[in-house]
Structure formats: C-alpha cells, structure tokens
Chain A
C-alpha cells in the first residue's frame, strides 16, 4: 500500500490488515505511556484546505503517538490564501522532505493528483476530498462495527475477521457525502450488506450501480432489513435553503420526521443494533438527543477509534510492508 486514497482501492486482505493493525494500536492506547517510537524521524504533513478541526486533531494525535514530527499546513494561514497552486504547494512539501501528506481538500481528486501527478513522492493519505472519499472515516466505522458486532464490545477474538452477514443502514445526504461513498465500498468489501436510506433528491444519479441497496423510507428499512448498525449522516444546513440548486427537501421538520433517528425508531431496531454518526451532529435534525446519548450510541467511541485507525494507516504506509511483521510484534 503506497497511498490511502479510496476505500474502493482496498482489497479485503488490505482492509482486514488495517483493522487488525488498528486493534493493536488501540491496545497500546490504554497504556499509561501511549507513545510508540515507530515513526521517529519521519515527517507527517497535515495539509488541510478545509476547516476540519476534529479530523486534523485526530491525524495529528495519531502521528504524534507514533513519534512522527507533525507539521500542520492549513490553507487559511499559508500561501494558499495568496493563490498558490496545489502543484507548487506539493513541490514545496517535497523539497522540505515530507514522508507522508495527509490531505483534506474541497476538490474531489486533489489527493489523487498529489499521489500521481509526479509532484512529490510522499505517501498520500486522503483525509476527505470533496464529494469523493474519506477512507479513514470508513475504516474507523468498520473498526467500530467489528468491535461491537463481531467482538461483543472489545477487539478480542476479532483479528482476521470481516463483517460478513452484518446489515448496515446509512441514512441521509448520500449525494454530497464522501463518508457514504467510502463506507459503501469498504463495508461491501468486508462482506456487510449496506442499505442507503435517503430522499431521492439526496441520492446521486448512478447510485443504482453501487454495491448496495437503496431505500427512500427509513421505517421500512428498519422493519425489513433489521439493520445491525445505523449510520446517520450529517445534513448540511445549506441543503435546506435555496442555495445553488434549491432546497433538497421541503423543511427541516419534514426531513427529521421521515429520516431522523429518534427514540421511536431506535426502539424498533434490533436490541443489539448500534447507532453511529461521523460528527459533527445536528441534534434534533438527523438525530435526536435521546438517540445520540443512548447506551447503544457508539458515536463518542468512533472518535477514539479514529486515532487507532489513523495510527494504523500511517504505520502501514510509512513503516513499509517488509518491516511490518517485526514492528507489529514489538508494539
């Protein structure tokens, strides 16, 4: 694995290795001394063209716990605001000797360009690009699902396992969501059955070719598919108003009634089902406070798992495959 750009590029073995490695990383994080020496001397650049404090902090924490040097390059406080091109920024990072570039960009495909345009030879980790992909989010979601629904709340006994037979509903703004795209591919690769639930206006043309089911009705999906996990997607406020393309649904209240997760719907889910959300949440819109804070909600744990998954991603990309076995036994 040279780069981590899209979950569609991950074979099942790669994905399981990432989850297994994340489990080992997570185990080290319960120690008093959380820091590992693995990436000492390596430089990881967080190149963020979009505001995303949570994702940036998660990657920064992951890199620091592996002892890498971390440079945060935020578009707002850099030469980007003076109009520097992606190419020149990439050449600069190359000249500075970056070993890995974690990139968040509003343009779909920007990480792909960094990885393939020949501008720099660092490993590229996609931390979210436009409406395309956010692979570490999907990995942390899969990791969380595996821990709860395969491993009964812990990683013990989950090593090498996939998500075969599990049913996952992903609910909300699929059209604009890189989280949904990443999850559909990864969960499918891992053997889970995915159902996308959204009003037709928030589903892309072409979704019928994705490896998943599509539903316009959350209640029907809960009854008929009995999902083991329900993943609620954030609804951007601008989707509700006129905006560029007009409103995608009539009102926040109608959306909430038809696609929101509240205690009523929660009670109709199977007893073991978990509630997920990539954050940040709009409480009262796509998810009620009851559901968000319910014992079956794993939303806060997703954040913690994000660090383990990002540690695993950085480790596998930077420590290299030949040393992976030795290094891992020493974790």
Chain B
C-alpha cells in the first residue's frame, strides 16, 4: 500500500496557498486551503505536511546535464549516490552524461545506466548517448540503437569533448531527426583551447594560467546554429557561459533556428576572480567567466534566450582537486545547490518568478529531453491528474554549504561556506517521498519497497 500525501497550505509555483493531495502516483486534488479531505487522524495511510502558506510546490526538477560517473569512476560517484543527491536537490529526473568508462555509446551501456537508476529508485535516470564512438570525435556511435533501447535515449552528447568536425556534427544533427533526438553540444574549439586552464582575460594574464578564450565557445555555437538551420535540426547548447554566446543564441532564435541553451548555476553566480586563490574547486569547463558574462547569462535566462538551468554536476574525489590547479580535474558538484543558486541569483533579485523557475528547471529541460510525455512523464504542470513528481521548497530558509555534508559522494563544491537561500523540504517521485524533512528517505525504508515509484509498478501508471 502506498502512502497518500496531503500537502496543506503550499504555494504551487509560488502562487496562492492551496491544498494538494498526492495519491496513487498522481496529483488527485488541488484546491483552496482546507479543501483536502484525507486526514492522518482517521487514515493511517495518510501523511500530512503543513506548508504554513509558505512552502513552494514545484514540479520535480529535471536536470539535462548530470555526471553520475558510473560505470568507471565509482570512487567519485555512483548512480545511486548521485541520484540520491539529485533527490535531495529537488530533482525527480536526471540525464546522465555519456562520458563514463566504458562510454555510453552503445545500447548495452545506456541500458546498464538506465537499469542502475531504476534499481536505485531516487529519480528517473535518462542516459545521454555519446555522439561519437568513445567520444573520439571520429565516427558516429550507434545513435539509433541507443534510441531504440530500453533507455529510450533522445539526448546525444560528447560532453567533455566538442564534436568539432563540422561534417560529423552535420551528420549527427541530421541523423537524430529520425527519432526526434537532439544533439547537445559541448562548444569548445579544441585548437583554441589546447592546455587551457581558465577564462582568458585579465585574471589569467596575472595568475599565469593558460587561457580558455570565450571565442572558442562562441565560434562553435555560431557554426552549430548555422548548421542546425541548414539541415533543419534541433540543437542544444550545453553550459553556455559568455555574453556573446547569449547574443548568438538570441540571434539564432530570432531567425527561427531550433536551438535551446542551458546555463549552469555556477556560471550564474561565480567569476574567474576565484582563480586567484588557485583553489581547484573553482576549476571547471567551460571556465568561470567575467562579471559581464555573469550579467549576460542572467539576462539571457530571464528573457528566455537561455531555456534552462542544468547543473553539470561533476563529482571528483578529493585527490583530483587537492593539488596544483593545472593537475586538477575540471568540474564541480551542483545537484544539491542548483535550486538555491537560481533563487539567489534570479528570484531574490526579482528577475524571475517561481513559475519561471519551474520552467527553466523542470518543464523546459523535460521538453528538450522529450521525457515530458508517456507513462514516466516529467516536467509537467502542478495540476490534477498529472504525475505526482513534485518538490517542496522553503524559500525563507537558508543554509551554509558544506561539501563534506552533501549527499553526493564527492565534496568538490565551489560554494563551500557560502550561505544560500532556499531549502528542499520534500521531493516526491510519482507520489513516493524520496526526501522528507529535508532528508533523503532511504529506498526500501518506508514501505518495504523503495521501488514503488518505478514506472509500471504503481497503480496509476500501470494502466
């Protein structure tokens, strides 16, 4: 028997307080405060949560860009630890990037990752397929086989590497049209970034770290939007980080090019000034940029040029960060802090509403990944009949970030010691609580079946 959750006095998408009932994997009631009838006093199968007319109810967050590291780097993260961290951050679905070992470039490996996600039960894991074999940039991986596999891959990316060969990029863009796929490009011109360590600019010139010029990103994005227009394909731009990248995407959209773009929480918040500390927790690819770039990506996100926020959650073991900058790995964790950073940079500054947050962190990424329909639909609205994938946020609470206390298996957060607004109180995956009271509810602990939220196993979606 599954639990019925009655959320009293919660604010769907930050609007007026309401009562919401989650039952049988669906949202079964949405009405004025006091309108929800199930009561924990009379029914032991009911759990009530009081939102105190303050807690905000969002659709479960969807990350289009997560590195779960399994298979291959289980010392940094596993599918289980990473998805548990995702749930703690308010997510109900993540797209697992392809740069695992072995690479997610065959139907076999993407199905393996998909199954690991299903078994863990924290969120829906949607594997991203590699564009090229072994991320080698030389020949197309079997994109069709991955699309047809149980994992149902729709997003393809060589993330970490750029598909820099223009012919190969063209072919990939064309080929995935057959199954409504999208190529998510890591835009980095490789010749312009050989040995690159950080943003090329004033700070790099002083601290003596090899520069990663903005133009290396912008030139690839410019080429790709033109290619996408030429062949009429969908293009997604990963972790866009510069002011001119925003301009190029804005221009492409004005021409009707089917391009979508993402920005990471860290590019919304931090600048390359952080590199002056030589603290490799600030080393990331693409690198932290300048104040002007941060302002431009915030503006681009607010005006819709940038469609989504994606974490680029990139866990690394301590030894890969506690060393010389040049020897350190690129990347930072982000699943548990993404929502707070968006609140701090976009909501609390008055640039976006909570409905906008739902759009950029749930609905739009689900739409880009084509997981917004079907039995495991994600990123839907908060309405009666929709899947009960929701997250409950306390926008008035705050916390101090401590890498060592995060749920992810790695501690490499660039926000160490920073106080951020917003705390995820509860997360529900198809009506099952994965997080309650701000703490992950260990799978299998609640009702003997941690997998109750699995697709096909709940009453609601079995039909």
Contacts and interface: CB of A to CB of B under 8 A. Distances in A.
Interface of A: 8, 85-87, 105-110, 112-113, 117, 129-133, 178, 181, 204-207, 209-210, 244-245
Given A204-B204, A205-B201, A131 B209 contact: yes
B319 A244 contact: no
Contacts of A112: 277-278
Contact of B205 (A85, A110, A133, A205): A205
A204 B208 CA distance: 9
Given A85-B323, A86-B323, A108 B209 contact: yes
Contacts of A204: 204-205, 211
Contacts of B323: 85-87, 113
Contacts of B207: 108-109, 132
Contacts of B319: 85
A110 B324 contact: yes
B270 interface: no
B325 interface: yes
Nearest to A131: B208
B376 interface: no
Contacts of B322: 85, 87, 117
Interface string B174-199: 00000000000000000100110000
A207 B201 CA distance: 9
Interface in B289-334: 319, 322-327
Interface string B347-371: 0000000000000000000000000
A245 B278 contact: no
Given A178-B208, A181-B208, 11 more contacts: A108-B207, A108-B208, A108-B325, A108-B326, A109-B326, A131-B208, A132-B208, A133-B208, A205-B211, A206-B203, A244-B195
A56 to B, nearest CB: 20
Given A85-B319, A205-B211, A205-B213, A109 B206 contact: no
Contacts, number: 74
Contacts of A206: 200-206
B211 to A, nearest CB: 6
Contact of B194 (A106, A209, A244): A244
Nearest to B197: A108
A86 B326 CA distance: 12
A50 B15 CA distance: 62
A8 B324 contact: no
Contact of A129 (B208, B210, B213): B208
B260 to A, nearest CB: 30
A86 B208 contact: no
A84 to B, nearest CB: 11
Given A112-B278, A204-B211, A205-B213, A86 B204 contact: no
Contacts of A209: 202, 205
A109 B324 contact: yes
Contact of B206 (A87, A113, A181): A181
Which one of B195, B204, B278, B327 has the highest number of Cβ atoms from chain A below 10 Å of its Cβ? B278
Which one of A8, A109, A131, A244 has the highest number of Cβ atoms from chain B below 10 Å of its Cβ? A109
Contacts of B200: 205-206
A109 B209 contact: yes
Contact of A205 (B194, B204, B208): B204
Contacts of B327: 86, 107
A245 B201 CA distance: 18
Contacts of B204: 204-206
Nearest to B327: A107
18 contacts: A8-B206, A85-B319, A85-B323, A86-B324, A87-B322, A87-B323, A105-B324, A108-B325, A112-B277, A131-B209, A205-B204, A206-B200, A206-B203, A209-B205, A244-B194, A244-B195, A245-B191, A245-B194
A109 B194 contact: no
B216 to A, nearest CB: 12
B77 to A, nearest CB: 21
Given A130-B208, A245-B194, A107 B213 contact: no
